[in-house]
Amino acid sequence: MAPTPFIIVAIDGGAASGKSSSSRILAERFDLLHVDTGSFYRQLTSELLQRGVPPTDLPALSAALDRLRLDTRLTGRSAQMLVDGRPAGPEIRSARVNEQVSHYAAVPEVRGTLLGYQRGQADVARRHGLRGLVMEGRDIGSVIFPQADFRFFLHADPAERAKRRAREGQQDSIAERDRIDSSRKASPLTCPAGATDIDTTHLTLDEVVARMAAMIATRLPAATA
Ligand code: CDP
């Protein structure tokens, strides 16, 4: 019998486009490591805000980033980043972090700090005997894993996305974050050539997952129904 392949699934898209919910389900179904890179940017933002380091003070930012130790712990199939041994807390979803994260994420030094760490998640998945990984973010199919086996780009009408975020009870100006994320010089949010673009505006979560799962199943049999 041929060995089970190790597959990499990249899911990119704007704020509240449905990346996290669909990635979590795909990770369970195909026995993959789930990596939410947005949570990493949020965690670094929260850490730097607590230390009083603004995104505009490059020398202080670089010095702080150089000193950070990043490790990974698994919670079920989800990768949790540990910063100097500490996991992320609920504050990474606070209004303050929502408002600030895109400013930090636009700084090349911040992105550089996370680049190798994110690529290293493939080794984490292998070490834990998983069959691959599903990584969600803004630049996964374009920069982190351009050779991923599957690259998806999710988008939805801004009004629908704002409704989704409000239903989660979050104060979040997603249009402003999208504007900053799409217009920055370093790894902007964009649908990379060759990625499968899915408009989720009028689709249920099950329908979005079904489309992606049908493609993935051509390479890897589902681990659960
Ligand atoms: O959950 P939501 O889509 O609202 O955002 P997120 O995935 O938690 O990402 C928060 C922010 O992190 C984004 O608005 C981007 O500024 C940044 N980010 C990024 O620049 N690159 C990534 N690969 C992931 C997130």
Q: What is the pLDDT of residues 34-71, one digit of tens each?
A: 999 999 999 999 999 999 999 999 999 999 999 999 99
Domain 7-216 is of which CATH architecture? Answer: 3-Layer(aba) Sandwich (3.40)
Establish whether residue 11 lines the binding site of ligand 1, counting it when its CB lies within 6 angstroms of any ligand atom.
no
pTM score, whole prediction: 0.95
pLDDT class for 154, splitting at 50, 70, 90? very high
Give the strands of the sheet with 78-83, arranged side by side.
70-75, 78-83, 33-36, 132-137, 7-13, 150-155, 196-199
Q: Which of 39, 138, 28 is nearest to 87 (CA)?
A: 39
Q: Which of 41, 134, 125, 23 is nearest to 88 (CA)?
A: 41
Say which residues have a Cβ less than 8 Å from residue 119's Cβ, sequence separation at least 6: 144, 145
User: Maximum CA pair distance of the chain?
Assistant: 56
pLDDT of residue 175: 86
pLDDT of residue 168: 82
- 121 close to 34: Cβ distance less than 8 angstroms: no
Establish whether residue 212 lines the binding site of ligand 1, counting it when its CB lies within 6 angstroms of any ligand atom.
no
Establish whether residue 188 lines the binding site of ligand 1, counting it when its CB lies within 6 angstroms of any ligand atom.
no
Substitution candidate for ligand 1 out of 98, 154, 160, 177 with most atoms within 8 A of CB = 177
**Mean confidence (pLDDT) of the chain:** 94
Establish whether residue 135 lines the binding site of ligand 1, counting it when its CB lies within 6 angstroms of any ligand atom.
no
Residue 86's identity, in one-letter code, is R
pLDDT of residue 2: 67
Hunting for tokens 């673009």 — which residue is that? 197
How confident is the model over 69-82, as pLDDT tens digits? Answer: 999 999 999 999 99
Q: Which of 135, 136, 145, 139 is nearest to 182 (CA)?
A: 139
pLDDT of residue 158: 87
Domain ranges across the chain: 7-216
C-alpha dist (Å) from residue 20 to 13, 166, 209: 10, 16, 11
